[in-house]
Amino acid sequence: MLPGDAAQTFVYPNNQQAGTVWFHDHALGITRLNVYMGLAGLYLVRDAVEDALNLPSDEVPLALQDRRFNPDGSLQYPAMWMDHFFGDKVMVNGKVWPYLDVKRGKYRFRILNGSGSRVYSLSLNPPSGLLAFTVIGTDDGLLEAPVPGVGTLTLGPGERYDVVVDFAGYAAGTEILLAEQRGCAASERDGGPDADHEVPRDEHGRGHGPLPATLRPIQRLDPQSAVVTRDFRLKQSGTDGCGRSMWEINDLGWHDITEYPELEHRRDLALRQRLGRVASDAHAPGAVPGARPRHLHQGRERADHPGGNPQPPPAEENGWKDTVMVGPNEIVRVIARFEGFKGRYPYHCHILEHEITR
């Protein structure tokens, strides 16, 4: 179809609390291609609760995506389907290896992992020591209170963080790297495959007052109030007609619908991920072997990580989320509330290259 031949209008009512939101094309079977070509975007939802908090007014969205380029500057993507795809350049807001001049003081960064497969493990590296993040929000809104002193942020595809960074203690001209610690593929500016990678470069900044001690209350969902409890076993098994390995839920595929939540229902979901065979990403740069970002549309969820010894989520994740990383042989318990919309709520892995193997 050529541009102008047809059009569709999509309306996002945004009837939710303030948060870092993003959208992308979701054409079944070619989502990875359309997102790679640019059909994705980040935007911010505001509300009166957030406006009253006097958070830093210096605010910068950071949409992280990895790409490969041909010599003529056009995008490069393999013609043959691959289980994962990792670019050798990191783009921030559409620019490769950009930098940002900042003033001394607090900045608010809204960070999105908009890549198809890559997991980012981010840290701030000034000339000496580390500069910590203060996390104030997750995927779907603010935390109950700021979480200071977070040295590393790990984001799977689709995950977001809302953070504050204070540059007040640094002299003018200081260079601070937002570095990807996991090891992206080397670029022309790096010392090799194991080098940290410059994403934005931050210099000089203006101050703000102290952050509020509390942000917004979170109405916790009691698992005992769930109408239905389900055990989802995620397993890689079998192949499709082209010989590609398939991920299945309870031995069922994408078109097998088993859940019919009603409006205002709460469902307690135990996500169990078992590796039927070793995934092909085990040594890929930017990958966490076997880990998968699980994403539930519409229903709001909160995750705990029980495993053999139940553990609550870390403080910086203990808010509303719509995407959660599930490790190999790990159980993640999620309670979700289905409200506001009738219809189907897709649930899938947010590694976009896996779409046709679900």
Backbone φ and ψ of 72, nearest 5°: -85, 5
Of 121, 288, 103, give the one whose Cα is nearest residue 199.
Answer: 121
Helix, coil or strand: residue 55: coil
Residue 205's pLDDT is 39
Residue 332's pLDDT is 82
Percentage of the chain surpassing pLDDT 70?
Answer: 78
Percentage of the chain surpassing pLDDT 90?
Answer: 41
227 has pLDDT over 80: no
Please tell me the pTM assigned to this model.
Answer: 0.85
CB 176 within 8 A of CB 125: yes
- What is the tens place of the pLDDT at every residue in 300-338? 666 665 556 777 889 999 999 999 888 877 788 888 777
356 has pLDDT over 70: no
CB-side exposure of 316: number of CA atoms within 13 Å? 19
Q: Write the DSSP string, 190-208.
A: SSSTTS--EEEEEE-----
Q: Work out whether the CA dihedral 320, 16, 353, 347 comes out positive or negative.
A: positive
Confidence label for 48 from pLDDT (cuts 50, 70 and 90): very high
- The vertex-64 CA angle with 206 and 15, nearest 5°, equals 85
What is the mean predicted confidence (pLDDT) over 208-223?
Answer: 88
Residue 128's pLDDT is 81
Which secondary-structure segment (H or E) carries 124? strand 120-125
CB-side exposure of 52: number of CA atoms within 13 Å? 6
Residue 41's pLDDT is 92
Residue 147's pLDDT is 98
Taking the C-alpha atoms of residue 163 and residue 147, their distance in angstroms, rounded to an integer, is: 9
The larger pLDDT score, comparing residue 108 to residue 326, is at 108
Q: Poorest-confidence range of 34-38, 183-187, 237-241?
A: 183-187
Residue 260: Cβ within 10 Å count: 8
Backbone φ and ψ of 43, nearest 5°: -145, 165
Any idea what DSSP says for residue 157? T
- What is the tens place of the pLDDT at every residue in 141-174? 999 999 999 999 999 999 999 999 999 989 888 9
Q: Poorest-confidence range of 208-222, 257-271, 333-347?
A: 257-271
The larger pLDDT score, comparing residue 125 to residue 296, is at 125
**Domains contained in the chain, CATH given:** 19-203 (2.60.40.420), 223-357 (2.60.40.420)
